[in-house]
Structure 1
Amino acid sequence: MKVPHVVPYQGSKRKIAEDILMNIPKKIQGRLFEPFSGSAAITLSAAAKNLADGYVVGDKYEPLINLWRKVVNNPDDAAREYKFLWDSQLVDPKSFFAECRSQFNVDNDPVKFLYLVARCVKNAIRFNSQGEFNQSPDNRRLGTNPDRMRKEMFCASELLHSKVDFRVGDFMDILKDATSNDVVYMDPPWQGTSNKKDPRYAYLLDIERLTRGLEDLNSRSIPYLLSFDGACGDRSYGNELPDHLNLIKIDIHAGRSSQATLLGRDDITIESLYLSPALVESSSYESMHKRYA
């Protein structure tokens, strides 16, 4: 089944979802958790393959989860509201974007958030020190066409309706009821792109909190995968995770960097995927990799 693309989020794992999902069982006995959801690319790709009977989509940024809740449960309303915003910009796109951004920073309307993401420069979300959305519009385009957006929303709704639990909060709170039958995929803010001078995320990365969370998941024998650091050309992003977590690191080729392309270079982006001990030690993981060997 087609994998929908609702939130055109820079940093989405949509293009490497297949490579990531190759490392989980063909059928998950429990649920798939995605506590740093963003574009929910892994959840949507897994649902298209019917890899689990249930999904948990969470994030600390409430407008994002409210958007997903509306898309899945009320796609007609979400599509209609997006079309109204998209059509309203046609007289003066630049001024309308600024007005919509100001309104969103007051009311946190989830569909306004989607419009801003679809229209902003490189689909790259930015926040100021007050937590307000402050990215500029891309004046070369108008964002995802509303007819296409409607199709993507309805496809996402078809995949996840009645199968998903939406949660807002810290990732460990979202994972509090995860069990060894579930699989967790995490894509937290990268160290190299989440400092105060480069606020690409609403909430910055607390590496100590992340490490404690992974220790807790290990102690509970919960299978998980983690996209965490990487490299582009000769530039690395962040440090590797502590050895005592006993994670297996896999490098995934994410293709040519779009920024490098703009600069006329051929830099390739490598993303690191970490596999937990409980995942690697599972019989389903071992048998799966015998199939691919």
Structure 2
Amino acid sequence: MKLPHPIPYQGSKRSLAEQILKFFPEKFDQLIEPFAGSAAITIASAYHLKDKNFVINDVNEPLIELWYTIINHPRSIIKAYSEIWQGQHGDEENYYYKIRDCFNQTKQPQHLLFLLAKCVKAAVRYNAQGHFNQSPDKRRLGRNPQLMQTDILRVSQLLKDKTQCYASDYQNILQVADTNTLIYMDPPYQGTGLNGGFNYAGNIENSSFLTALFKLNERNIPYILSYDGRTGNKVHGTALPDSLNLIKIEINAGRSSQATLLRRNETTFESVYLSPALTANVDFNKIANRSMYQTDLFF
């Protein structure tokens, strides 16, 4: 059965989630996503592992309010989304901007859900003042309320009474982890900060992030990090320092849509990194022999 994903988010790992889950340890008590976004790995873990506890965190407070409502009060967000979606007919573009203005003033979760469902490429963008500024996709109305309802109810069923939601700096959330915790991190891509052309709701400072990784290693905390990748021979992002002692894994993410538009046949590989505390409990021979979609291991 297809996994539910009510929150569309550019860069979501939902298409790679089942491959990433193959690197999970057999035993752990809690999964933490400090940069939750679409919470794709949490949802996949809840679906396949079922009996775990979860922490969803994101510095984007309205996003976390949306997740809290989806998980704990699904009927209310379904009703609010349906009413907003129905109101756009006949004046779709102007209506979108009206809802965007309302969201920037009130930060209501139902407004954010509509914007995410209808904005260009599900790409979350904020200006320097912290206002959502992505444009609408004029070719579509956004996710149909009936389909949205199905996904919201299924996610609530998977995560209710198992999930804590926080809107905090990632470094605060990392402090609650212990050796029985697994952390999955998918931070904003490098180059998307104030000097990178666009913003997410929060952008991380690279040296502080690397320091946080070293501290996790010192505490023997297992973690998986999605950090960079490549398309063909073009590498995206700056390499992590060797002194972190991480194992890099390249997962075949399929043919690059951007390269296809430029009439180039290139494949995108997304990189994940496994911490020393995690790799001590991973059977790489067992993983490599599984029918993962063109996954390459680099030691």
TM-score normalized by the length of structure 1: 0.94
Aligned ranges for residues 83-94 of structure 1 at < 5 Å? 83-94=82-93
Gap runs ≥5 in structure 1 = none
1:246, CA displacement in angstroms? 0.6
Residue 220 of structure 1, CA deviation: 0.9
1:139 equivalent in structure 2: 138
The one of 280, 286, 293 aligned to 1:290 = 286
Partners in 2 of 1:292 and 1:260 — Cα distance? 28
Partner of 1:68: 67
The separation in 1 between residues aligned to 2:50 and 2:288, in whole angstroms, is 17
The equivalent of 1:238 in structure 2 is 237
Q: How far did residue 195 of structure 1 move? A: 4.8
C-alpha separation between the residues in 2 aligned to 1:110 and 1:196? 28
Q: Which moved more, 1:229-238 or 1:181-190?
A: 229-238
Q: Which amino acid aligns with 2:278?
A: L
SS at 1:130's partner residue?
A: coil
Alignment correspondent of 1:25:
25
Query: Does the Cα contact within 8 Å between 1:46 and 1:52 map onto a contact in 2?
Result: no
Partner of 2:186 in structure 1? Answer: 187
Mean CA deviation greater in 35-44 or 204-213: 204-213
- Does residue 1:117 correspond to 2:121, yes or no? no
Change (3 A) 1:98 1:267: same
SS at match of 1:15: coil
User: Helix, strand or coil: the match of 2:15?
Assistant: helix
CA apart distance, 1:200: 4.3
The answer to whether the 8 A contact 1:2-1:48 is kept is: no
Distance, in Å, in 2 between the alignment partners of 1:241 and 1:39 is: 25
TM-superposed deviation, 1:134: 0.5
Tell me whether 47-56 or 176-185 shows the greater mean CA deviation: 47-56
Structure 1's 75 and 289: CA in aligned 2 closer, same or farther, altered over 3 A?
farther
Query: For each residue in 1:39-97, what CA deviation from the matched residue of structure 2 results, as whole angstroms up to 9, or x when unmatched?
Result: 00000000000255201110111011100000000110011111011001112010000
Decide whether the 8 Å contact of 2:127 with 2:199 is kept in 1. Answer: no
Q: Name the structure 2 match of 1:221.
A: 220
Contact 2:223/2:278, CA 8 A, preserved across alignment = yes
User: Distance between the aligned counterparts of 1:168 and 1:268, measured in 2?
Assistant: 35
SS in 2 for 1:191: coil
Shift of 1:22: 0.7
Identical amino acids, percent of aligned pairs: 46
Query: In structure 2, the residue corresponding to 1:49 is in which secondary structure?
Result: helix
Secondary structure of residue in 2 paired with 1:144: coil
Alignment gaps of 5+ in structure 2: 290-299
Deviations 1:11-35 (A, max 9, x none): 0000011111111124x33101111
Cα RMSD of the aligned pairs, angstroms, is 1.6
- Could you state the TM-score of these two structures normalised by the residue count of structure 2? 0.92
